[in-house]
Structure 1
Amino acid sequence: MGQDPTSEKEYCPAVFVDPVTGDCLFQGRVVTDPAVLALIREHGAIAEDEAVVWLPASMRQMIVDAVTSYEQGLRGHGQPGFADLLSKATRSAVHLEMRDHYGPSQGFADWQAGGSGRIDDGGRWKRLIGEAVGRGVRVRRARIVSEPVSDFIRYEHMVTDENVDAGEEVRWLPRRQASGILLPHADYWMYDQRLVVFNHNAGNGDHLPEAFEYISDLRVVRELVGSFEMVWERAIPHAQYKIV
């Protein structure tokens, strides 16, 4: 029926309807706060095989629709997450980044406040990339940046060792060296040189959860394959790129 449009992590909170029984299924964050659980238990016991899950208010209409207006055979938009798309790649996954700031970023905020800027994701990214590389997928990330670099790029460069450790190849291309390369309108991931997922951002760099654009038209894809390879050929490997 729908997914949380505000989530930054694979858009996990979701509402489903079983097409056979009509039962509702809710995927959300498991509530562990003892105070909240105590309040709920005032109205009834929570069995050992039950869990209380949290869904944001932005999903209220999806829940109502699941209960009142589900139609047999209806399927959600099915917007796949990065993990799902990467799991289906067999040869390559490339990422082109062209902005000098992305947000909101918990790690960047921590770094600005004097912290390490390294946010623990439980090893999730390393597992995703490691599994892909392990089955023969080459994962490359190219970043086109303005110089002198922004504070965000300075932070991003500092934590890129985590991408490399996970198994990515990362290169940097100063924007002034990208002359003559026909670059696309937005950042993207491209899988197996067949599917391109553009990621549109707001003017201030904020991620827009619903602003993904999926392209498989080979007339478009072939142009992006060519331009990415030109960027990659000119770009500087991460270990050699020095921040200025």
Structure 2
Amino acid sequence: MSIRRIKVLSEPSSEYMRHALDVAGHLVNAGEDTRWLPRRQTSDLLLPGNDFFVLDGEVVIFNVLDGDDGRAEQQLWTEADVVEQCRSAFESAWARAVPHRDYHSA
């Protein structure tokens, strides 16, 4: 099993995101492939409005956040067109994102 994760972040990074960068180092050392994508580089990407996970290319889970960035709802989608849109969006962002070991926070 492989886990690939993209974190979209604003620069300069908030204290929370600087902490996330530190934690991600441990996840990368454990085998997760994490990349960072500065928000200013996403304007021409068609990304879903909510954080999401694509599982085995067959299921999408959206995390809908509330005003305090807490999870308000989780949505599970299996419709092929939604899964493909999210898979394609992820791959486009992945190609542009910077591997964790190469990213230097602004």
TM-score band w.r.t. shorter chain: over 0.9
Whether 1:143 aligns to 2:10 is no
Between the aligned residues of both structures, percent identity stands at 37
Whether 1:230 aligns to 2:92 is yes
- 1:168 is aligned, of 9, 32, 37, to 32
Deviations 1:6-65 (A, max 9, x none): xxxxxxxxxxxxxxxxxxxxxxxxxxxxxxxxxxxxxxxxxxxxxxxxxxxxxxxxxxxx
The answer for unaligned runs of 5 or more in structure 2 is: none
| Post-superposition offset of 1:184 | 0.4
- 1:198 is aligned, of 41, 62, 72, to 62
Mapping of residues 56-205 of structure 1, within 5 Å? 137-205=1-69
CA–CA separation in structure 1 for the residues paired with 2:63 and 2:43: 23
| Post-superposition offset of 1:157 | 0.3
Name the counterpart of 2:74.
212
Deviations 1:55-100 (A, max 9, x none): xxxxxxxxxxxxxxxxxxxxxxxxxxxxxxxxxxxxxxxxxxxxxx
Match for 2:52: what amino acid? Answer: Y
| Post-superposition offset of 1:207 | 2.6
CA–CA separation in structure 2 for the residues paired with 1:225 and 1:149: 27
> TM-score normalised to the size of structure 1?
0.42
Whether 1:242 aligns to 2:104 is yes
The number of residues matched between the two structures is 106
| Post-superposition offset of 1:167 | 1.2
In terms of fraction of residues, the more strand-rich structure is 2
Match for 1:224: what amino acid? Answer: C
| Post-superposition offset of 1:235 | 0.2
| Post-superposition offset of 1:185 | 1.6
The CA RMSD over aligned residues, in Å, is: 0.9
The answer for unaligned runs of 5 or more in structure 1 is: 1-136
| Post-superposition offset of 1:191 | 0.6
Higher RCO, 1 or 2 (CA under 8 Å, sep at least 6)? 2
> TM-score normalised to the size of structure 2?
0.95
- SS of the counterpart of 2:3? strand
